[in-house]
Amino acid sequence: MKMKTCSTKTIKVKVILKIILLTLVVGCTNVQKPDNKKNILPYVKIGEALDNRKSNIKSLIDFIDSVKYIPLETTPECNIEEIKKIISYNGNFYIWDYNAILKFNSNGKFICQIGKMGRGPKEYGRNREMTIRKDTLFVNEGKKIVAFNADDGSFIQSYSFPDRWFAERLNGYFVSINSKTGFIEFVNNRGSVTDSLDYEHFSQNEIYPDMMIYPVYDVFFGTPGALKISTSHNDTIFEINRNHQLIPRYIFDIGDYKLPEKERLEYLGDFMQFQKITSGFVRPVPLETTRFLIVQLGKWGAESKYEDLGFRDNKADLLGFGIFDKKTDEFFVISEDNENYPCFFPHVSDEENRLISWGYPVDLISFYNENKEKYNFCVSFTHTVKSLEMEDNPVIIEVKLKE
């Protein structure tokens, strides 16, 4: 009887253990099972939107929370010849001019100059690129990077750097592209390449700014803590993580507007032929805010048969742009609206939810005088233009997008 009783208990214990084990296995399986919805990369349907522009076109006003025109103070100490790049950081604007890097506050008042040009160890001889990370402004001048305090413009440190065009800062490393190999390279503070990623082949000529869509500094972009990369031929937008790996985040579905690989410049070898045969294709260049991807649509060659894609920017040689809403996974081509956001075309995102552009007084004043009877301009634009002189510094145009 005892043996029988013991056997029954043993069987019961085994059954209970099996049930517990099965429950654990099922539970573990559920935890590890991937969520298919989360793992599907969002498709930015650029080609489809361009094919159906009549039904996929919207005004930027549908996405805008506010538009602000900010005239930059004009003094002999901060005279701007031509803006090469703008960074919006902590409520201030950092302007890369040919002769200096100038800091203005959110109302356009001049604060200080960041460093100065020269050949000394604390100076920069030419500015190839600049970025701001953790209150430090880094200037890439080719063979060295000079760091300045973003608050007061004082010198911090110089770093040796290989002769590279682009430079970003990520987790203590400088991130750049080797134009001869197309590799993304990670450079430490001593100027040594410590890691690299085989991303995409470039020809030497293609990296030069005359072959890049203006502005030339948008190879690296993203939101805070999420540096992303886009190049001219790759349909996938990647994020660079802390382990120096490329993580796919978005797919650009460009459709028939995508440049075929056989038409790429490095395969053709003939720049004139390249300009001629690429008129039928579109070159997307992304910016990102916290909610939206802004896709600038540019030309490949000197001419394009797609001159009516939407809201054009003739000076930047861009055919138009579109907006991808990350909340709804929808992409829309943006139409021109000279009344609600005059003289605006998105060139920079501030890594939050704002887009930045700029206009020169001669253009803004002329546009206002020619159209003031036609349009009911916003108060900020009208007030700003009426206060301008032709020789004044440029005007920053800041668009805050809806959350």
Q: What's the pLDDT tens digit per position in 322-363?
A: 999 999 999 999 998 889 999 999 988 987 899 999 999 999
Q: pLDDT class for 232, splitting at 50, 70, 90?
A: low
Residues pairing with 43 in the sheet: 251
Distance separating alpha carbons of residues 252 and 236, to the nearest angstrom = 6
Q: pLDDT class for 172, splitting at 50, 70, 90?
A: very high
Q: Which two tokens stand for residue 326?
A: 């990350």
Lowest mean pLDDT among 33-42, 223-232, 260-269, 320-329: 33-42
Per-residue pLDDT at 19: 34
Lowest mean pLDDT among 31-45, 133-147, 263-277: 31-45
Per-residue pLDDT at 220: 86
Cβ atoms < 10 Å from Cβ of 391: 9
Q: pLDDT class for 39, splitting at 50, 70, 90?
A: low
Distance separating alpha carbons of residues 94 and 72, to the nearest angstrom = 11
Q: Which residue has the higher pLDDT, 49 or 34?
A: 49
In percent, how much of the chain has pLDDT > 70?
A: 85
The angle that helices 379-386 and 361-371 make with each other, rounded to 10 degrees, is: 120
Burial of 377 (0-12, 13-18, 19+ CB in 10 A): buried
Distance separating alpha carbons of residues 11 and 18, to the nearest angstrom = 10
Q: Is pLDDT of 277 > 80?
A: yes
Q: Is pLDDT of 34 > 50?
A: no
Q: Which residue has the higher pLDDT, 377 or 177?
A: 377
The owner of tokens 């809201």 is 311
Query: Where do the domains of the chain lie, and which CATH numbers do they carry?
Result: 41-401 (2.120.10.30)
Q: Which two tokens stand for residue 26?
A: 């099922």
Residues pairing with 158 in the sheet: 146
Looking at every residue in the chain, the average pLDDT score rounds to: 83
Q: Which two tokens stand for residue 383?
A: 């007030």
Lowest mean pLDDT among 7-21, 93-107, 361-375, 388-402: 7-21
> Element (H or E) spanning 398, and its range?
strand 395-401
> Element (H or E) spanning 265, and its range?
helix 265-268
Cis, peptide link before residue 34, omega less than 30° from 0? no
- Give CA torsion, residues 203, 205, 207, 211, to 10 deg: -120
Distance separating alpha carbons of residues 177 and 163, to the nearest angstrom = 10
Per-residue pLDDT at 327: 94
Q: pLDDT class for 166, splitting at 50, 70, 90?
A: confident
Averaged pLDDT for residues 192-213: 61
| Residue 142 · residue 174 · CB < 8 Å | no
Name the residue type at position 119: R
Per-residue pLDDT at 205: 46
Is pTM beyond 0.85? Reply is no
Q: pLDDT class for 125, splitting at 50, 70, 90?
A: confident
Q: Which residue has the higher pLDDT, 127 or 16?
A: 127
Distance separating alpha carbons of residues 346 and 340, to the nearest angstrom = 14
Residues 6+ apart with CB under 8 A from 237: 228, 229, 230, 248, 249, 250, 251, 252, 286, 293
SS3 (DSSP) at 93: strand
Distance separating alpha carbons of residues 360 and 362, to the nearest angstrom = 6
Q: pLDDT class for 75, splitting at 50, 70, 90?
A: very high
Per-residue pLDDT at 260: 87
Averaged pLDDT for residues 393-403: 96
Distance separating alpha carbons of residues 301 and 308, to the nearest angstrom = 16
SS3 (DSSP) at 77: helix
